[in-house]
A and B are shown apart, each in its own frame.
Chain A
Amino acid sequence: MNKQKLKKILLTNLIAGLSGIAWIPTQAALERIGDFALLDDQGEFHQLSRYQHRKAMAIMSYVQDCESMDEMLQDFKALREQFADQNIAFLLLDPMGLSRAELAGLNTGFPVLQDEGQLIAEKLQLDQAGAVRLLNPARLSLYYRGSSKDVQLPATLSSLLTQTITDTVSGSAPASTHNACTIPFPAKQRHTASPPDYARDVAPVIIENCLECHREGGAGPFALDKYVSLLGWSAMIKEVLLNKRMPPAQVDPHLQQSGNARYLPVAQLQTLVHWIDAGAPRGAVAEDPLEQQASDNLQDDLQRKDTWLLGDPDFIVDVPANRIPASGILDYLYVDIDLPFTEDKWVRAVQYKAGAPAVLHHLMTFVTAPGEDFWGDERTGAQVSRRFLESYAPGRTRATEYPPGTAILIPRGHKLSMQFHYVSNGQEMFDQTQLALYFAEPGDSATTGHKLQERLTQAVSAQFTIPANDPDFQVVAEQVFTEDVVITGVRARMNYRGKKMKFSVEQADGSLRDFFSIPAYNYGWQPHYILDEPLVLAAGRRVQISGAFDNSVSNPANPDPDKVVYSGVESEQEMFTGYLSYHRLMD
């Protein structure tokens, strides 16, 4: 301990003594926790760094089977009541992997964070039921470690609020002795005894989930294409896994799934994090499987460069070249493409071929009428029906074939309206993307024997005004279909202040059932999520789209939390639009 630290402790003790506080906290250096995020039992997203508008986050470990859990819960409730209106977030954390239904039955009165992989409990060293941690969202650090039974916990919280505590404080009742409900960490124990093997356990996860973007010429800002790269980025990898920033486009896994959403299963998360915790050992493997795969992928890409996966297209849209400067943040780019078709066309499949995949972050294409542009009536309408063709997101080249019996109509004289989002990567580049169209004959649906169904898109929006510094401005929009439909996909569209969006359908009894949720909206990732299980909706039933904006300092994408924001399609405005792709229910 250096002299300055000693002086500080002496000073703190003096102040505490003079102010009549009998207990003198044990000060240590500020203890960094790092960022993390979890969903709670309602599917709400909680990220430590997104609590900047709060003074502290208080978390208690909840173990259902612990005999004294109810008592500890009462203590925690009392603490919350004592510090009501003090701008502190109180949360429980379940490290035992209870299901949503089990958690719902507990009626704890708190949001319960679902730590299925126990990685956050490990990080916070929540090793017993009733263990309490007070966290500093601004510094991503630990204020206090102790338990709900620590009689000094309220005094510590008071000190924290008066800012006489900034460093980490240990409670007077050591966490290891306050009760007998120890939390087992089987995966951690297993991996501590035998760390995950790089070649066998780690590299395959990276190849499967990361390499398609994080490679030479890929859209990721750096390559993860060999062991040494992984080692160099290991601390970053751990953090972005734990705060759910990566893989991108995550949705609530307890609701509908989508092939466009990305996840790492709990076991893989544990493997990566525990491997990094163990110092990211390379092991004795002679050949680096990650480097080998990256090399193979490059060869594949070269071979595929001039080929279309579904054979020769019926029509190729050559998009005029876009210039991407070497640096800077680029706003979205909108391009209209006239089509030469003299008759209606039905599109059954498409494939994008990005001209500059290293800088093309995403691309959306709609079929629009001659007088429309990309936004069309969405500028003013709350319900707008347009034809969404397909989006492009970084990754390996893929083609999209619509389900049998369905296709997208391009009426004669209509055009394509495209929205490009580029990121700069240090070199000026030109992107000349191509879009291949494969047509179906409207009366020729041999696969189903039914008439071809048109795939449509409904944009459902709301008008609003977001107050300055509001961390949770809630918005709801609704749509009622007048015929039986099959909903095939959804997409959330908000600007920088977007926080979350949830899609629900009305049940026969009038209640709402959530079917898809994007709990942590990210402006940079807006895929059109194709539902794994299309949803049949009877005529007259409501689809409700609910969500919120974060116009506070806690939103890292917020350009200025002090501004009042109005609804509109420009990027300095906000929009709350849920897209629903669907087709009419077939006979």
Chain B
Amino acid sequence: MRRILLHPVLSLLLGFVCVFYAATPTAQTASPLLNARYPDLVNYFNAFEMIQAAIFEEVVLTSQSAEAAIGKQLLLESLQEFARAKTSHYHSSSNHLAMLGPYRVFESRATPGLIAMIRQQHDTSQANLALANIAVLPSEVVAVLNRGRDFISGLTEIYLNDDILDKHLAVDELLADYLSNDAHSVAALPKSSDLLSKHAYAYAFRVGFPQLSGLTWASQWLQLASLEIMLMASSDRALDVGIATATDIYVEKIARLHNSFMSLPGDIPSMPVIAPNVYSFHPGAAYVIDNLSMLKVVIGDILTHPGVTDHEAELKQMLARFTDKNQYLEDEIDYLTFVLRGGIFNQGGPAFGGMTESERNRSRDSLENPHISRFPMSP
């Protein structure tokens, strides 16, 4: 056996197999009910994986470009201001999503292609390999994100399956199965907001790439809104109408007028805000989804921040904190206070019917300026 394994050709093939396995999600995503009933929605979810991967790749490419040196300087200046803040800028009533980020053309040139990607057809096998294909994330990170995606797919199947009478039990079982792989699952408890806002590279992705952040959050909104509608729809007809309306709202969110995004979310969509009934029905499952959302933002921060020298090490370290089931946690009330304080509008609006204006007194209108950079050059 030992001699056979050492044979160079077989060794190489075995290596290839290992590589192939590492690049493949833990399980093939299977959403037969969703596929049968809402193929367009499946395509949007697949596109979400494709654009998430492309966005991580764009971030790395931009950071590597010598022409982006000025953008890096502007980003660092802004991040220094953010670092002085006492409270988190996420889930606040303020909105810091100036649509013209410090990298300017590097970001704006990427967005038409990403929107086109959303509108293209993607099969699930492509989507499964999207994050692995970009080769900018350690395989552990890819495995956690893909396992998280499978978890959300499983949740949709449970909500759509009329034969499952005890849905709570089914979600319990799904969650238990998800958590059974400790290394590749995030906690089913609320993670500390400090993981999002107080790490060394916090806000880098959001400030550095506001349009790309908003695009991922728009897709995330559709995912969360769909779950809420699937759980709450009172009839098949109501379900169809709800999904169709949410899809229309999503299309509006990613539409551009005069080359400007008008309706991208300015904040990370969270379960208690966008899918409150899904959250109440099974908080553990909701925490997993929100923790995955936070993790994606933090990955973006690490890939974006000009000060990171060893991306792989930083990503693994941060991943360990998210997969840690005992530390970096906070109380439910603190978590709810955190995600709810910024209001519904900035996170994309409610699942049912959307929202056209902020419910807060200080609206985006008075705080956002899409035409003037918030990052003026220092003389």
Q: Is the CB of A30 within 8 A of B61?
A: yes
Q: Is the CB of B255 within 8 A of A559?
A: yes
**What A residues does B136 contact at CB under 8 A?**
4
Q: Which of B102-110, B279-287, B295-303 contacts A (4 or more CB under 8 A)?
A: B102-110
Return 6 A-B CB contacts under 8 Å, by A number.
Answer: A34-B109, A221-B100, A229-B377, A231-B70, A426-B372, A557-B259
In angstroms, Cα B370 to Cα A426, docked, is 7
Please tell me which one of the listed residues B104, B119, B366, B377 contacts residue A236 in the complex, with CB atoms under 8 A apart.
B104
**What B residues does A11 contact at CB under 8 A?**
16, 19-20, 23
Is the C-beta of B341 less than 8 angstroms from some C-beta in chain A?
Answer: no
The list of the 10 closest CB pairs from A to B, nearest first, reads A426-B369, A4-B135, A138-B113, A52-B116, A236-B105, A232-B377, A7-B19, A14-B16, A553-B116, A239-B105
In angstroms, Cα B104 to Cα A229, docked, is 13
In angstroms, Cα B108 to Cα A140, docked, is 12
Please tell me which one of the listed residues A232, A238, A326, A329 contacts residue B257 in the complex, with CB atoms under 8 A apart.
A329
Known: A30-B57, A32-B61. A328 touches B258 (CB 8 A): no
Q: Mark B179-222, 1 if CB is under 8 A from A, else 0.
A: 00000000000000000000000000000000000000000000
- Closest Cβ neighbor of A5 among chain B residues: B135
Q: Mark A540-562, 1 if CB is under 8 A from B, else 0.
A: 00000000000001101101111
- Closest Cβ neighbor of A27 among chain B residues: B135
Known: A222-B373, A235-B70. A10 touches B16 (CB 8 A): yes
Is the C-beta of B52 less than 8 angstroms from some C-beta in chain A?
Answer: no
User: Could you tell me the distance in whole angstroms from the C-beta of A39 to the nearest C-beta in chain B?
Assistant: 21
Is the C-beta of B262 less than 8 angstroms from some C-beta in chain A?
Answer: yes
Please tell me which one of the listed residues B100, B112, B256, B371 contacts residue A52 in the complex, with CB atoms under 8 A apart.
B112
**What B residues does A163 contact at CB under 8 A?**
126
In angstroms, Cα B106 to Cα A239, docked, is 10
Given contacts A3-B312, A52-B112, A560-B255, 11 further A-B contacts (CB under 8 A): A4-B139, A8-B132, A34-B109, A222-B373, A234-B70, A235-B104, A423-B258, A425-B369, A426-B372, A557-B256, A557-B258
Is the C-beta of A147 less than 8 angstroms from some C-beta in chain B?
Answer: no
Is the C-beta of A424 less than 8 angstroms from some C-beta in chain B?
Answer: yes
Is the C-beta of A107 less than 8 angstroms from some C-beta in chain B?
Answer: no
Is the C-beta of A266 less than 8 angstroms from some C-beta in chain B?
Answer: no
Q: Is the CB of A328 within 8 A of B366?
A: no
Please tell me which one of the listed residues A226, A231, A326 contacts residue B369 in the complex, with CB atoms under 8 A apart.
A326
Is the C-beta of B143 less than 8 angstroms from some C-beta in chain A?
Answer: no
In angstroms, Cα B259 to Cα A523, docked, is 10
Interface range, B side: 35 or more
**What A residues does B83 contact at CB under 8 A?**
none
Is the C-beta of B41 less than 8 angstroms from some C-beta in chain A?
Answer: no
**What B residues does A557 contact at CB under 8 A?**
256-259
Q: B67, B260, B364, B368: which has the most chain A beta carbons within 10 Å?
A: B67
Is the C-beta of A524 less than 8 angstroms from some C-beta in chain B?
Answer: yes
**What B residues does A574 contact at CB under 8 A?**
none
- Closest Cβ neighbor of B139 among chain A residues: A4
Count CB-based A-B contacts (< 8 Å): 134
**What A residues does B116 contact at CB under 8 A?**
52-53, 138, 553-554
Is the C-beta of A35 less than 8 angstroms from some C-beta in chain B?
Answer: yes
- Considering only residues 19-47 of chain A, those with a C-beta below 8 Å from chain B are 29-30, 32, 34-35
Is the C-beta of B59 less than 8 angstroms from some C-beta in chain A?
Answer: no
In angstroms, Cα B366 to Cα A369, docked, is 41
| Main DSSP-derived SS at the A contact region | loop
Q: Mark A323-348, 1 if CB is under 8 A from B, else 0.
A: 00111110000000000000000000
Chain B residues close to A by CB (< 8 Å): 13, 15-16, 19-20, 22-23, 54, 57, 61, 65, 67-68, 70-71, 74, 100, 104-106, 108-110, 112-113, 115-117, 119, 126, 132-133, 135-139, 251, 255-260, 262, 312, 364-366, 368-373, 377-379
User: Could you tell me the distance in whole angstroms from the C-beta of A393 to the nearest C-beta in chain B?
Assistant: 16
Q: Is the CB of A4 within 8 A of B138?
A: yes
- Closest Cβ neighbor of B312 among chain A residues: A2
In angstroms, Cα B260 to Cα A556, docked, is 9
In angstroms, Cα B255 to Cα A3, docked, is 37
Is the C-beta of A298 less than 8 angstroms from some C-beta in chain B?
Answer: no
User: Could you tell me the distance in whole angstroms from the C-beta of B116 to the nearest C-beta in chain A?
Assistant: 4
Is the C-beta of A139 less than 8 angstroms from some C-beta in chain B?
Answer: yes
Q: Is the CB of B23 within 8 A of A7?
A: yes
Q: Is the CB of A2 within 8 A of B135?
A: yes
**What B residues does A325 contact at CB under 8 A?**
365
Chain A residues close to B by CB (< 8 Å): 2-5, 7-8, 10-11, 14, 29-30, 32, 34-35, 49, 52-53, 137-140, 163, 166, 221-222, 226, 228-229, 231-236, 238-240, 325-329, 423-426, 496, 523-524, 553-554, 556-557, 559-562
In angstroms, Cα B69 to Cα A232, docked, is 9
**What A residues does B108 contact at CB under 8 A?**
236
**What B residues does A560 contact at CB under 8 A?**
251, 255
Q: Is the CB of A424 within 8 A of B371?
A: yes
- Closest Cβ neighbor of A227 among chain B residues: B379
Q: Is the CB of A221 within 8 A of B372?
A: yes
User: Could you tell me the distance in whole angstroms from the C-beta of B306 to the nearest C-beta in chain A?
Assistant: 16
Known: A2-B135, A561-B119. A423 touches B19 (CB 8 A): no
In angstroms, Cα B113 to Cα A58, docked, is 18
In angstroms, Cα B345 to Cα A427, docked, is 21
Please tell me which one of the listed residues A234, A327, A524 contacts residue B368 in the complex, with CB atoms under 8 A apart.
A327
User: Could you tell me the distance in whole angstroms from the C-beta of B299 to the nearest C-beta in chain A?
Assistant: 14
**What A residues does B115 contact at CB under 8 A?**
553
Q: Is the CB of B19 within 8 A of A52?
A: no
Q: Is the CB of B137 within 8 A of A4?
A: yes
Please tell me which one of the listed residues B16, B57, B109 contacts residue A35 in the complex, with CB atoms under 8 A apart.
B109
In angstroms, Cα B71 to Cα A253, docked, is 35
Q: Is the CB of B133 within 8 A of A166?
A: yes
Please tell me which one of the listed residues A140, A221, A234, A559 contacts residue B109 in the complex, with CB atoms under 8 A apart.
A140
Q: Is the CB of A426 within 8 A of B371?
A: yes
Q: B116, B255, B256: which has the most chain A beta carbons within 10 Å?
A: B116
- Closest Cβ neighbor of A240 among chain B residues: B105
Q: Is the CB of A328 within 8 A of B371?
A: no
Q: Is the CB of B258 within 8 A of A329?
A: yes
In angstroms, Cα B230 to Cα A143, docked, is 41
**What A residues does B22 contact at CB under 8 A?**
7
- Closest Cβ neighbor of A31 among chain B residues: B61
Q: Is the CB of B106 within 8 A of A235?
A: yes
Known: A140-B109, A329-B257. A232 touches B74 (CB 8 A): yes
- Closest Cβ neighbor of B370 among chain A residues: A327
- Closest Cβ neighbor of B15 among chain A residues: A10
User: Could you tell me the distance in whole angstroms from the C-beta of B94 to the nearest C-beta in chain A?
Assistant: 14
In angstroms, Cα B126 to Cα A423, docked, is 41
User: Could you tell me the distance in whole angstroms from the C-beta of A382 to the nearest C-beta in chain B?
Assistant: 28
User: Could you tell me the distance in whole angstroms from the C-beta of A167 to the nearest C-beta in chain B?
Assistant: 9
- Closest Cβ neighbor of B260 among chain A residues: A329
Known: A325-B365, A425-B372. A228 touches B113 (CB 8 A): no
- Closest Cβ neighbor of B259 among chain A residues: A556
Q: Is the CB of B20 within 8 A of A14?
A: yes
Q: Is the CB of A138 within 8 A of B20?
A: no
**What A residues does B364 contact at CB under 8 A?**
327
- Closest Cβ neighbor of A277 among chain B residues: B67
Known: A2-B135, A7-B135. A49 touches B105 (CB 8 A): no
- Closest Cβ neighbor of B58 among chain A residues: A139
